[in-house]
């Protein structure tokens, strides 16, 4: 098998054409990103970003949330990384002959022998993983997978590349008349078959070798040109999406400048008002459907499906609006309204902001910020929102709580308690911020009473603001009422700073997240402690621990805003374990994969139609065989208690961690 000038001519034409077409497609999308809005935070903390590059991008860490499919994708990805050297070698052969090799990678050199062995193993493994992927898609028919022509084309192309490389390698071995070689097991084995009994390659085998060579090299170039055109754009963009992810946006919404009089609209009402990072997210979506699998709205058959939301926005951007945006004609109206024509109102008001989708996404796509930006536009620009929210907004505006109950009754539940008020006896260590639920919901008030009694018994220095305790603003912001949310937060910061607050203790993960992650944007910097964290520390260092009256087997429900969003999983488990003296049961979906109760994102105030999220979660928890469901959030407690009533389950108790004590 000999190299000819024809090989060089084909490569000399094909490579520049493919590179130019690829560069044009990438340049088009980069120019589109440049027309988008800037990101709110600088690209900083490169140490963390480099770590993410190695763990999430190169290590494919997030893919392994599903073991076998994750391994399949990782092997294909790692295989391509390893075979990149082989691809360079093959293109070099096109110009320099079939004896060409990269430095130190010659057929008889030690490093070359090792690479040859690895290359053969990788070819076989990648081919096997592609066959497994085809089986999952077209025989097993995994529901979340979209079996598009593009997906089939890419899988068959990858399989063809692996097979063609192995066949070409076999013809090279046969033409060199080499015996079986353990350093190149696949190539030498195929070569022995091709060479026949007389050890001479037939004309058919030679022709097959040349065809395999051209198929492999031209196939790579076709693949290169195809990448920017479909979902496999993520092969190019995922490294950037991982590296440039907003590090400090987990649980933190962007801050709108409501004082800027040059801003004509707030939130996102036109696609180009998204940031360039949002555009990069849209480009990078792999359409794998992992986000859909974990979304509580999708799982309970609501309109929202995170993947479809992203796909629709991507196609709207690239197919309908790209030319207008690139032309810079901001006066021209979009071809369709972003809401309700591209994204349905029912979609944006079904999101619990639990961030399960973001946890599951293997390429770090953000969903919650994009949905919240649409909510802000709907509320602030168009005054369009579900009618049930009018009462919640009015209540926060007039009575400092979404229940709309008079603020003067905020401490009625504590009339029989010796509740220390901030400032009456000096400055205490902690401001106990109980939150609106504990003040106005009968069930949540029992958490407040238990917590206050625990703190008093332990002589913890704390105080409450009293009837003047305001709403933290979290509900307003999550529902898109940014103006009301900011007003509440700015009022609180002024009050807290005037009182000299340094540490805030709260039983509400929503208050906890807001004080910790969002108040610094409003010059409110405090040490924020969730009650599970303080109680866990006290119990771990205590010589005596209160025991419950009777042994119970407890299962813990992870609050999204305490667990997945703020990374606190251990403290609640420590409390439950010590209080019950038994190991904490874990539901099928727990910790980072915990399933939402349905109250997040302000959905506590919306009527839920059809299958209910809290019922779904309650049934998951009951399936553990536990007699007690334990929460660390008043909203989770209310939602799961309501589920027990709705489902007429009187055998399982629902308690907050502090109630165990």
According to DSSP, the residues that pair with 629 across neighbouring strands are: 555, 654
pLDDT digits (tens, 9 = 90+) for 130-162: 999 999 999 999 999 988 888 899 999 999 999
411 and 376 within one domain? no
pLDDT band at 201 (very low <50, low <70, confident <90, very high): low
Percent of the chain, pLDDT > 70?
A: 97
Nearest in space to 307 (alpha carbons), one of 253, 264, 361: 361
Question: Residue 181's pLDDT is what?
Answer: 82
Mean predicted confidence (pLDDT) in 633-652: 93
Question: Residue 261's pLDDT is what?
Answer: 79
Domain assignment of residue 263, yes or no: no
* Mean pLDDT over the full length of the chain: 90
pLDDT band at 551 (very low <50, low <70, confident <90, very high): low
Domain assignment of residue 258, yes or no: no
Q: Give the C-alpha separation, 117 to 115, whole Å.
A: 5
pLDDT digits (tens, 9 = 90+) for 221-238: 999 999 898 778 888 999
Domain assignment of residue 67, yes or no: yes
Other CB atoms within 10 A of residue 144 CB: 14
Q: Give the C-alpha separation, 523 to 295, whole Å.
A: 34
Tell me which of 252 and 425 has the higher pLDDT.
Answer: 252
214 and 310 within one domain? no
Q: What tokens appear for 362 in the block?
A: 């293997």
Lowest pLDDT segment from 72-81, 133-142, 203-212: 203-212
184 and 50 within one domain? yes
pLDDT band at 311 (very low <50, low <70, confident <90, very high): very high
pLDDT band at 198 (very low <50, low <70, confident <90, very high): low
Domain assignment of residue 266, yes or no: no
397 and 367 within one domain? no
Q: Could you tell me the CATH number of the domain that includes residue 280?
A: 1.10.1060
449 and 354 within one domain? no
Nearest in space to 311 (alpha carbons), one of 375, 370, 387: 370
360 and 283 within one domain? yes
Domain assignment of residue 264, yes or no: no
Question: Residue 165's pLDDT is what?
Answer: 93
Mean predicted confidence (pLDDT) in 294-310: 94
Question: Residue 336's pLDDT is what?
Answer: 92
pLDDT digits (tens, 9 = 90+) for 399-419: 888 998 888 888 888 888 888
Output helix, strand, coil percentages for the chain, rounded to the nearest 5.
Answer: 60, 5, 35
**pLDDT exceeds cutoff 80 at 489:** yes
pLDDT band at 42 (very low <50, low <70, confident <90, very high): confident
What DSSP string runs through 114-174? HHHHHHHHHHHHHHHHHHHHHHIIIII--TT----HHHHHHHHHHHHHHHHHHHHHHHHHH
278 and 398 within one domain? no
Q: Which secondary structure element, helix H or strand E, spans residue 360, and what is its range?
A: helix 356-360
**In which domain, by residue range, is 353 found?**
271-381
Question: Residue 537's pLDDT is what?
Answer: 92
Asked if residue 473 lies in contact with residue 488, where contact means CB atoms within 8 angstroms, the answer is yes
**pLDDT exceeds cutoff 80 at 520:** yes
Question: Residue 655's pLDDT is what?
Answer: 93
Question: Residue 361's pLDDT is what?
Answer: 93
What's the number of domains the chain is made of?
A: 3
pLDDT band at 642 (very low <50, low <70, confident <90, very high): very high
Whether pTM > 0.85 for this model: the answer is yes
Domain assignment of residue 409, yes or no: yes
Question: Residue 41's pLDDT is what?
Answer: 81
**pLDDT exceeds cutoff 90 at 304:** yes
Query: Given 362, 381, 400, which residue is the final one in a domain?
Result: 381
Mean predicted confidence (pLDDT) in 459-470: 89
320 and 188 within one domain? no
**pLDDT exceeds cutoff 80 at 202:** no
Pairing of strands 628-631, 554-556: parallel
- Report H helices in 199-317: 203-226, 234-243, 276-284, 290-294, 296-299, 306-315
pLDDT digits (tens, 9 = 90+) for 612-638: 999 999 999 999 999 899 999 999 999
Mean predicted confidence (pLDDT) in 428-440: 91
Q: Give the C-alpha separation, 319 to 342, whole Å.
A: 12
**pLDDT exceeds cutoff 80 at 525:** yes
Q: What tokens appear for 68 in the block?
A: 């076998």
Query: Given 353, 381, 409, which residue is the final one in a domain?
Result: 381
pLDDT band at 661 (very low <50, low <70, confident <90, very high): confident
Residue 184: asked if its preceding bond is cis (omega within 30°), the reply is no
Question: Residue 241's pLDDT is what?
Answer: 92
Query: Given 381, 407, 435, which residue is the final one in a domain?
Result: 381
364 and 413 within one domain? no
Q: Give the C-alpha separation, 635 to 438, whole Å.
A: 9
59 and 170 within one domain? yes
341 and 406 within one domain? no
Domain assignment of residue 255, yes or no: no
Domain assignment of residue 319, yes or no: yes
Q: Give the C-alpha separation, 114 to 125, whole Å.
A: 17
Question: Residue 43's pLDDT is what?
Answer: 87
pLDDT band at 544 (very low <50, low <70, confident <90, very high): low
Q: Give the C-alpha separation, 161 to 221, whole Å.
A: 11
402 and 469 within one domain? yes
**pLDDT exceeds cutoff 70 at 192:** yes
Question: Residue 547's pLDDT is what?
Answer: 53
pLDDT band at 183 (very low <50, low <70, confident <90, very high): confident
């Amino acid at each position: 098998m000999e190299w000819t000038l024809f090989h060089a001519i084909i490569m000399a034409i094909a490579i520049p054409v493919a590179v130019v077409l690829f560069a044009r497609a990438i340049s088009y999308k980069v120019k589109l990103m440049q027309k988008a809005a800037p990101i709110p935070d600088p690209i900083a903390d490169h140490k963390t970003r480099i770590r993410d590059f190695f763990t999430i991008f190169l290590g494919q860490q997030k893919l392994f949330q599903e073991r076998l499919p994750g391994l399949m994708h990782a092997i294909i990805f790692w295989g391509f990384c390893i075979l990149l050297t082989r691809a360079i070698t093959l293109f070099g052969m096109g110009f320099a002959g079939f004896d060409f090799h990269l430095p130190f990678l010659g057929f008889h050199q030690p490093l070359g022998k090792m690479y040859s062995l690895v290359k053969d193993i990788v070819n076989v493994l990648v081919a096997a993983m592609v066959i497994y992927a085809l089986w999952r898609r077209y025989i097993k028919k995994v529901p979340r997978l979209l079996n598009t022509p593009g997906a089939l084309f890419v899988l068959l192309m990858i399989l063809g590349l692996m097979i063609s490389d192995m066949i070409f390698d076999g013809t090279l071995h046969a033409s060199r008349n080499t015996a079986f070689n353990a350093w190149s097991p696949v190539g030498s084995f195929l070569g022995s078959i091709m060479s026949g009994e007389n050890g001479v390659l037939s004309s058919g085998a030679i022709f097959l070798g040349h065809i395999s060579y051209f198929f492999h090299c031209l196939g790579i170039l076709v693949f290169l040109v195809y990448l920017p055109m479909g979902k496999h754009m993520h092969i190019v963009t995922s490294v950037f999406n991982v590296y440039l992810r907003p590090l400090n946006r987990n649980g933190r919404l962007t801050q709108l400048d409501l004082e800027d009089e040059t801003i004509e609209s707030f939130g996102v009402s036109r696609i180009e008002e998204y940031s360039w990072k949002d555009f990069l997210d849209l480009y990078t979506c792999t359409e794998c459907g992992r986000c859909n699998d974990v979304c509580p709205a999708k799982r309970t058959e609501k309109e929202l499906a995170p993947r479809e939301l992203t796909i629709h926005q991507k196609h709207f951007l690239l197919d309908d609006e790209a030319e207008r945006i690139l032309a810079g004609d901001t006066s021209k109206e979009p071809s369709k309204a972003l809401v309700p024509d591209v994204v349905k109102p029912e979609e944006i008001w079904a999101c619990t902001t639990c961030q399960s989708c973001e946890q599951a996404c293997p390429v770090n796509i953000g969903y919650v910020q994009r949905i919240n930006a649409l909510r802000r536009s709907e509320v602030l620009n168009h005054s369009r929102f579900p009618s049930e929210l009018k009462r919640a907004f009015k209540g926060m505006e007039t009575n400092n709580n979404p229940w709309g109950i008079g603020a003067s009754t905020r401490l009625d539940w504590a009339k029989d308690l010796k509740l220390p008020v901030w400032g009456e006896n000096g400055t205490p260590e902690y401001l106990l911020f109980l939150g609106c639920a504990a003040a106005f919901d009968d069930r949540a008030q029992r958490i407040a009473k238990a917590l206050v009694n625990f703190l008093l018994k332990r002589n913890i220095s704390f105080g409450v603001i009293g009837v003047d305790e305001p709403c933290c603003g979290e509900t307003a912001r999550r529902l898109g009422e940014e103006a009301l949310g900011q007003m509440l937060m700015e009022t609180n910061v002024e009050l807290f700073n005037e009182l000299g607050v340094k540490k805030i203790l709260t039983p509400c993960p929503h208050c906890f997240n807001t004080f910790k992650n969002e108040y610094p944007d409003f010059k409110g910097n405090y040490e924020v402690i969730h009650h599970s964290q303080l109680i866990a520390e006290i119990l771990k260092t205590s010589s005596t621990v209160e025991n419950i009256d009777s042994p119970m087997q407890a299962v813990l429900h992870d609050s999204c805003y305490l667990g997945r969003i703020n990374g606190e999983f251990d403290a609640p488990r420590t409390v439950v374990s010590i209080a019950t003296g038994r190991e904490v049961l874990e539901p099928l979906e727990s910790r980072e994969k915990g399933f939402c109760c349905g109250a997040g994102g302000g959905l506590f105030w919306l009527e839920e139609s059809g299958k209910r999220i809290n019922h779904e979660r309650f049934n998951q928890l009951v399936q553990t065989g536990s007699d007690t469901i334990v929460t660390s959030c008043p909203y989770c407690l209310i939602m799961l208690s309501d589920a027990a009533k709705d489902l007429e389950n009187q055998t399982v108790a629902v308690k907050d961690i502090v109630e165990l004590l």
